[in-house]
Structure 1
């Protein structure tokens, strides 16, 4: 569940102990016995304190005091999930998760919990898996104890009212509807359909309106009749029984994390959770039929707790389920354009062998991408794009290991050869393990095999221990939920360290288990899935016309065997199962599979040369900084070390907060040629789709080409990426500082100086294929709200002509044009390197790298430079007139409403989408001396409005009206660069309002809804009605509540950064946007990079009052000068119909009388009318000239239609913006 819900007041659920004492004293903790458990083992870089306790009722709790956290987070995991669902009530565990949010006896208010969190900077969520249900929240630390009390009452005394039950079924159904167009979910349901129908894995975990019919009964009396008819009253009774059966204190893991002391945290938790008691009798003779149904279903779920014995091996998949015919071929049809080959092997559970799991080394070797791996062999042959290996299922009673391969077009044609190589690799590992175990080979071969496996195991262990000890703690909200689950199945001592192999070394290689598991990686124990349109078409062609579509019944006898075309029960998605011909199977079972061409030699990986040689901290650090993390220390801004005109800038910051041997490097090659072409006649650059797409493919080809070479670096904690943006080409590296500069230099050398050796046809073919397929399947595979965002962004921020134009550019790219694009980029004399090196790196080391990088760029420019007499760029433009590339945002006219209406092109999409976007006409705030005071107040007010609006929007449209599962309101921020030369301007030409800005921020208020309940037009009308009411909420809201919100948002903005990577990202974001403006050939008086912008913004937010918010609301949302785009996408439930001449609902809200845009051609025509958004702005008069006349016809009642309610408010009051504020204050 991705969002929380709350409900109206109702009856207390029967049979659950309630606690109505909401004023618990901290001293009450002494009334309950507490048993202290084994201490938590933590990493060397973890500054937090832990305490593990067991309450007298059996609940296990871990308390975590984090002195650096500004929030307190809490999570409760219940040791139950969908595996315990009664098959007659699929999704019951998930439904129970939803219902627990709907109030409690102690706090019966409809949205009490979520409203309290929202008012104090909090957030919450919950999720249900097959074995766990986890609830979590966080909140500003000063307001934590009341939140803990509200949260605890979910479990102590929840309200499962009949009316709430009825309404929340719709939420579950909407969530299920959202999932129907997701390939991962569709394939998951097919896999469940292939499982043993008597196995818990086969259960449908989400639920829908069919499995959980809406509870219409108002009766609160329990019944004793059977639930097989799925009567709504039985759903509620089963819900109550499920909660009593599973939500017991000894079945819960509780975690609380905050800056409070351990004693304080304990005093909050113990008195609130200790009174919980087990209300389940366990005596089947005394159970009602509904309770018996829940009890029997509970027995189907395997034991999953730390202190319980491991359940016996019970595989969800077995050859006899397909008549003993394995390998079996599963063919699925994706919505996205993908080509997948997946090998799946059922294996015993490794849940109880996490430290010495044979799957660790098998996944490491089968998923390896270095020389000698199956990936390397297949990539060199041009057959695969990517390969990954890991557990698809990790349950207490079984596992499913999968090798997931993304195929090229050629690999699709030769999929049996790809599978042959994978089986060969599995066989190599099995033979190596058997040899090492002395089961075959001579003594020398046995010793060599054992030494190699121990070396590899030792590397895995070393890297795991290193990561465990050299990782700084994250946010409290991220820690609590995972830890609450871990204490249930790992115990408290290993709840943090389980799986990190802290006590392992080369001598603990699990050789016996490795032999056993590797032997099972063979064709006779394998499900082979092909997932692609081509694979589907092959099956359709080969299937005889006599085959009929047959719905898969999950309750059929497991002995029944069906091949051919089938339909999964819950999603209705079709799939094929078929036998694999005996010749192919024989080839898979034979060493050295015969293939049309050699596929390379497979061998174990060589030693990893990227493992850090030292973890020492930089010698330049002070002794105080060396002693340990100092997250509370103020972050010093980066220092500008080098500022060389026409070459680049080097920024450096030696980390003195984290005390970790890690560094972050980002080097941006600012270069207009990446996305543009230069027009010599107009003396300017113009966006060019071909250049942009070729640059995109160029970075992808390089990443593909370097995959084998740098895979060991990734394993050793050195991560890198090369990406294209509107600003240029960005190389990012992060990881252990010892070898990071060497890696970065190698990457730059290969990309900048050796393109001919890297940019090969095989890599181009693979990358181009992925880009083309992504474009081709963009519309057919995404949700309606993604489409809505696409159309809005195509209007406001896209520089190109859309997906179709990009697709054509990608298809036309070849190796010659790619090399030409590389040459154009590096022949541009305006290229400028913006580099930021931070972390455990000295200034000297940073300068060494920067000098090397600049030398490479100069060499590349010299090599790529064309004949000056034939080059428009070099002949006409001079380096001092450098053009600064960047993003684009278009300005809507003041008072303009634009409506976009399109049908979804996803054939499976049932939902429609409504995306309402309000654009502020006042430029967003950047920092002191870079923006006006008016921009600061505007940006602060918009942020606070969005923070305040989020919860009531969700409560009204999602919880009460149940419009859809996705209901969100949020603040959005975009940036627009000036489309001309900054460096040609003089300081005296710059105006005080920031007209000389290179980059202008733009603030937005956004509402997004995904719904199949109503047509998008009606959903849009509901949004507008809410916005009308929300203004009244602002008017009536107590000042204290406004202050709560402003203080909460301000404090959230000032939360300390706890990760080096996050700090580097924030700093480089400012450098990237504002360095050209602050440090150009002219220097703006008193301006500097706004390093402290968050502090200034937080202070401004906390100073806002009601009049500020209403003034901003009336300007951005409700006023006559507001600017808005409404993007509507129609699903198949309510398709978009041709407009009727006689009536148009749009004309009733679109006061400017613009026709709704329904074609891409009209959208692009409208786009041409819009100017780029820059720092210039003026308060233009509205062109709503007919507003007075419209008041007589619809007035405030027009709130039923999109936008009219907001306009109607002003029509009825006939006030200017300023007088309406005065009227408000008078109230």
Structure 2
């Protein structure tokens, strides 16, 4: 399970989403006369059927019928979260989320739900947020009904077994301790402490052994049961079911499984209190992070705007303030060397309050001028009041959103189900699919009203940096903070806005797609070679099967110069960031219009990506290639990007141990994967002249692989290829493809002793197999699936070693492998190693009794994943590119492995485990935790 407090950010694109002008809706014939408010409006590109129903017990559900899906999914959203925790039971909502996974009257086996879903190609999880708890899974489509029934029993007859209360409160406590060095949690919790003490936002919300105390062995269970009985009633629950069956069948399954959810009126969860007292507004809040981080955030609480989702007034402001093109607030501050990034967004607690924020990552210079930056944000707000309330900006946003809705592609069924379930409580059925796209009514009076609330007296100026003065300590994560009134001099300056000639409102966007014609698909179902010459190979496939006017272009420039030395690695990263920076003002409107681009550096080279509407991709690519030719950053830009890179390398040490351990694993397996100390030394000495020279040397011997996939004809693909050829290739620089070296363990074992400076200990054991044939890959993929759930159950649920516990197949560079990971606050690496060894020996006994029927379940689960259909154009492009990028052999690699999986025998599984138990070809990463209580026994 996972727990997080989500800020529902209206990002740039979300802020621009609008209504579709003409849209279809799905209802079965016998339901055509139903209330229009129950008719689900969908995109014209969406061929799925939808039905919104309400059961007799008051439970609401959205049914999604997709006959072509090979993955099914479901989600249950309960309108209760950490805001409803009793004052003496902080973390109770989260604790209940954990307990519901531990069996029920109909399915009493602990972790049986996980076992079933994983065996049949699926995954499951849950999260607890401020005002909701969301449970979700996906699974192979032919197993939806039994999986759905198991999920439903969480809400019909949970055991809430008292025997697991103490075990699971330890799991929650481990989760809390896991976040001890994560600034996201530390800073959020400290900032919440500066909220209205009468408001639940101000409280700790994860849970710990202290807040979930159970000294008498009974009171925690009693409180848990009371909480469940109060909030887990049908009217407070929303369900989404996504399957290949008809709406009628899905509805019958819904009624069969969920009719038993207890009836009861939805409890009143309205808080009705302001999130901040008057003394907590018009203030500066200092927060001290662990990482070397510098952030300025200006936030303004306003009345909840959730009911205005059709107008999106805060979304309009987020777009204008967050704009990064020429004349923007972002450009003005960045060109003066004050910020590294700027984002504007809003969060909302429906029916309670909204909060609008402008968040800026600062340079060292910017940290010294926090008040001046704040004043310039207020200057820009005044510019919007005077010039920025323009109908054409709103209409342009509507157009982009209309395109987005008209050509909306299918998403992952699990993400679809979980996301839509969160809307059932607050969005009418008619708008449940299009809520994020509605931008119906330009209301300048409403926008002005919100702007008028963005005043010094209604602002919280939050500054995050290591060097700040503080006078208080947050009790759970020990974060240092302070909160003090804004100085009078700053308030006076903010109340007297100034005009800056360099600041303007956004200009009209020339990148909005006009050519929406669908090209005729190629006869082939995989890309074909369009062009092959020395140093350059182009693959192309015209694909309009998803009926969207979009395309994906990937261009990888590979060269040994990418990672031959640590200096190369650092200089390539700086080259990429400076190149991206030079494109930002020009390219930002393209991203705004749904034409995305990216530059990515790796140990094999530089990759240019284009995605989104194919119209104007050629124009954008031409300008990217021109920027490569004209690359000439100045000293100030270089210094800023160098400092940012150094800070990022240093800050890696604050990642959780298991992430650092996986990183160390990669460093050992890839010779060109340098460790952070080596990279840091290279970064600290690099000069601007080095990067400029590197930008020339990088192209001295290159190989370019290019894929054009989607709504481009072969002729259009060739024109794109000609642009690349002309810009990057000469007669002298056409080299061969570079692939980074990889270390084989063979029969050797190695142990990496690390010190990750964390309270938790870490143990990672990775077994690598020497062969790369599809048969071995099939066998070890099955073996990994067979052991994943028992490993989690035994070491986490039963033995309570820690929150981070997982195992499974780990193929690397086509070599099959298995990995076992435990991050523990209670046991050291030696003790964990013994537990893992005991588990593996136990699995040997288990495999002796493995039946063909049991193996067949896991086989079908794996086949479902391998043979899963591409859900959208991006997914298909990524699959093709994975083959071309050298990670796989041929476009049909998944089918080839699936063919082998079909015939894997029990004896092969048993032999594979025996080979692992020979303990040859193992790489181990160990780190001892800092907690004094850690045992090595």
1:1136/1:749 CA distance change after superposition, 3 Å: farther
1:529 equivalent to 2:462? Answer yes
Could you tell me which residue of structure 1 aligns to residue 669 of structure 2? 796
Give the 3-state SS of the residue equivalent to 2:750 in structure 1: strand
CA contact (8 A) 2:3 2:128 kept: no
Could you tell me which residue of structure 1 aligns to residue 556 of structure 2? 668
Which of 822, 834, 837 is equivalent to 1:1021? Answer: 834
Give the 3-state SS of the residue equivalent to 1:163 in structure 2: helix
Which of 225, 229, 239 is equivalent to 1:244? Answer: 229
Could you tell me which residue of structure 1 aligns to residue 507 of structure 2? 606
Could you tell me which residue of structure 1 aligns to residue 353 of structure 2? 398
1:510 equivalent to 2:431? Answer no
Q: Return the alpha-carbon distance in structure 2 between the equivalents of residues 207 and 1049 of structure 1.
A: 36
Q: Shift of the alpha carbon at 1:786?
A: 2.1
Which of 270, 281, 285 is equivalent to 2:255? Answer: 270
Q: Return the alpha-carbon distance in structure 2 between the equivalents of residues 493 and 659 of structure 1.
A: 24
Q: Return the alpha-carbon distance in structure 1 between the equivalents of residues 359 and 455 of structure 2.
A: 16
Size of the aligned set, in residue pairs, is: 908
Q: Deviations over 1:545-582 (max 9, x none)?
A: xxxxxxxxxxxxxxxxxxx5111132222212234332
Could you tell me which residue of structure 1 aligns to residue 7 of structure 2? none
1:1118 equivalent to 2:917? Answer yes
Q: Return the alpha-carbon distance in structure 2 between the equivalents of residues 354 and 379 of structure 1.
A: 32
Q: Shift of the alpha carbon at 1:232?
A: 4.3
Normalising by structure 2, report the TM-score: 0.93
CA contact (8 A) 1:343 1:528 kept: yes
Q: Deviations over 1:1167-1224 (max 9, x none)?
A: xxxxxxxxxxxxxxxxxxxxxxxxxxxxxxxxx9xxxxxxxxxxxxxxxxxxxxxxxx
Q: Shift of the alpha carbon at 1:943?
A: 0.8
Q: Deviations over 1:75-114 (max 9, x none)?
A: 1111111111111101111111111111111111223222
Give the 3-state SS of the residue equivalent to 1:489 in structure 2: coil
Q: Return the alpha-carbon distance in structure 2 between the equivalents of residues 36 and 60 of structure 1.
A: 16
Q: Shift of the alpha carbon at 1:848?
A: 1.0
Which of 561, 584, 592 is equivalent to 1:715? Answer: 592
Q: Shift of the alpha carbon at 1:198?
A: 0.8
CA contact (8 A) 2:2 2:128 kept: no
Could you tell me which residue of structure 2 aligns to residue 315 of structure 1? 274
Which of 835, 850, 854 is equivalent to 2:706? Answer: 835
Could you tell me which residue of structure 1 aligns to residue 766 of structure 2? 917
Q: Shift of the alpha carbon at 1:140?
A: 1.4
Q: Shift of the alpha carbon at 1:707?
A: 1.5
Structure with greater contact order relative to length (CA < 8 Å, sep ≥ 6): 2
1:102 equivalent to 2:102? Answer yes
1:92 equivalent to 2:29? Answer no
1:204/1:699 CA distance change after superposition, 3 Å: same
CA contact (8 A) 1:180 1:186 kept: yes
1:654 equivalent to 2:532? Answer no
CA contact (8 A) 1:902 1:1136 kept: no
Q: Shift of the alpha carbon at 1:621?
A: 4.4
Q: Give the root-mean-square deviation of aligned CA atoms.
A: 2.3
1:1011/1:393 CA distance change after superposition, 3 Å: farther
Could you tell me which residue of structure 2 aligns to residue 731 of structure 1? 608
CA contact (8 A) 1:950 1:970 kept: yes
Normalising by structure 1, report the TM-score: 0.72
Which of 556, 573, 577 is equivalent to 2:483? Answer: 577
Q: Shift of the alpha carbon at 1:271?
A: 2.1
Q: Return the alpha-carbon distance in structure 2 between the equivalents of residues 53 and 887 of structure 1.
A: 55
1:210/1:568 CA distance change after superposition, 3 Å: same
Q: Shift of the alpha carbon at 1:476?
A: 1.5
Q: Superposition pairs for residues 760-909 of structure 1, below 5 Å?
A: 760-779=634-653, 781-799=654-672, 801-826=674-699, 828=700, 830-858=701-729, 882-894=735-747, 896-905=748-757, 909=758
1:942 equivalent to 2:759? Answer no
Q: Superposition pairs for residues 990-1005 of structure 1, below 5 Å?
A: 1001-1005=814-818
Q: Shift of the alpha carbon at 1:1099?
A: 1.6
Could you tell me which residue of structure 1 aligns to residue 417 of structure 2? 480
Give the 3-state SS of the residue equivalent to 2:820 in structure 1: strand
Q: Superposition pairs for residues 369-768 of structure 1, below 5 Å?
A: 369-432=324-387, 453-501=390-438, 504=440, 508-534=441-467, 536=468, 539=469, 565-592=471-498, 601-618=502-519, 620-621=520-521, 636-646=525-535, 648-675=536-563, 687-751=564-628, 753-756=629-632, 759-768=633-642
Q: Return the alpha-carbon distance in structure 2 between the equivalents of residues 141 and 581 of structure 1.
A: 61
Q: Shift of the alpha carbon at 1:585?
A: 2.8
Larger C-alpha radius of gyration, 1 or 2? 1
1:1028/1:702 CA distance change after superposition, 3 Å: same
Q: Shift of the alpha carbon at 1:393?
A: 4.5
Which of 929, 940, 963 is equivalent to 2:801? Answer: 963
Q: Shift of the alpha carbon at 1:600?
A: 5.3
Q: Return the alpha-carbon distance in structure 2 between the equivalents of residues 1038 and 427 of structure 1.
A: 72
User: Which range moved further: 414-423 or 401-410?
Assistant: 414-423
Could you tell me which residue of structure 1 aligns to residue 83 of structure 2? 83
CA contact (8 A) 2:851 2:906 kept: no
1:37/1:161 CA distance change after superposition, 3 Å: farther
CA contact (8 A) 2:122 2:137 kept: yes
Q: Return the alpha-carbon distance in structure 2 between the equivalents of residues 663 and 461 of structure 1.
A: 22
Q: Return the alpha-carbon distance in structure 2 between the equivalents of residues 360 and 688 of structure 1.
A: 46
1:1058 equivalent to 2:858? Answer no
Q: Shift of the alpha carbon at 1:37?
A: 6.8
CA contact (8 A) 1:383 1:410 kept: yes
Q: Deviations over 1:713-771 (max 9, x none)?
A: 111011111111222211001010111111111111111x1112xx2223222221111
CA contact (8 A) 1:315 1:347 kept: no
Give the 3-state SS of the residue equivalent to 1:124 in structure 2: strand
Q: Shift of the alpha carbon at 1:893?
A: 4.3
Q: Shift of the alpha carbon at 1:160?
A: 1.1
1:232/1:592 CA distance change after superposition, 3 Å: farther
Q: Shift of the alpha carbon at 1:262?
A: 1.2
CA contact (8 A) 1:244 1:279 kept: no
Q: Return the alpha-carbon distance in structure 1 between the equivalents of residues 839 and 524 of structure 2.
A: 42
Q: Shift of the alpha carbon at 1:416?
A: 2.1
Q: Deviations over 1:636-678 (max 9, x none)?
A: 11010111124x1111000032110001001111222232xxx
CA contact (8 A) 1:36 1:53 kept: no
Give the 3-state SS of the residue equivalent to 2:509 in structure 1: coil
Q: Superposition pairs for residues 1199-1214 of structure 1, below 5 Å?
A: none
Q: Shift of the alpha carbon at 1:1016?
A: 2.3
Give the 3-state SS of the residue equivalent to 1:1017 in structure 2: helix
Give the 3-state SS of the residue equivalent to 1:640 in structure 2: strand
Q: Deviations over 1:253-287 (max 9, x none)?
A: 1111011111111111112212333368x9xxxxx
CA contact (8 A) 1:722 1:730 kept: yes
Q: Deviations over 1:761-793 (max 9, x none)?
A: 2322222111100112221x1111122223322
Q: Structure 2: 5+ residue runs without aligned partners?
A: 5-33
Q: Shift of the alpha carbon at 1:798?
A: 4.0
Q: Deviations over 1:112-170 (max 9, x none)?
A: 22222122222111111111111111221222222222111111100012112221111
Q: Shift of the alpha carbon at 1:187?
A: 1.2
Q: Deviations over 1:941-971 (max 9, x none)?
A: 1111111111111111111111111111122
Q: Superposition pairs for residues 1066-1077 of structure 1, below 5 Å?
A: 1066-1073=879-886
Could you tell me which residue of structure 2 aligns to residue 951 of structure 1? 789
Q: Return the alpha-carbon distance in structure 1 between the equivalents of residues 501 and 900 of structure 2.
A: 64
Q: Shift of the alpha carbon at 1:897?
A: 2.6
Q: Superposition pairs for residues 1130-1141 of structure 1, below 5 Å?
A: 1130-1134=928-932
Q: Shift of the alpha carbon at 1:1066?
A: 1.4
Q: Return the alpha-carbon distance in structure 1 between the equivalents of residues 341 and 816 of structure 2.
A: 39
Q: Structure 1: 5+ residue runs without aligned partners?
A: 5-33, 217-230, 283-297, 304-311, 433-448, 540-563, 594-598, 623-633, 676-686, 866-873, 925-934, 976-1000, 1076-1088, 1138-1144, 1146-1199, 1201-1227
Q: Shift of the alpha carbon at 1:1136?
A: 9.3
Q: Shift of the alpha carbon at 1:456?
A: 0.7
Q: Return the alpha-carbon distance in structure 1 between the equivalents of residues 933 and 650 of structure 2.
A: 22
CA contact (8 A) 1:212 1:232 kept: no
Give the 3-state SS of the residue equivalent to 2:136 in structure 1: strand
1:3/1:334 CA distance change after superposition, 3 Å: closer
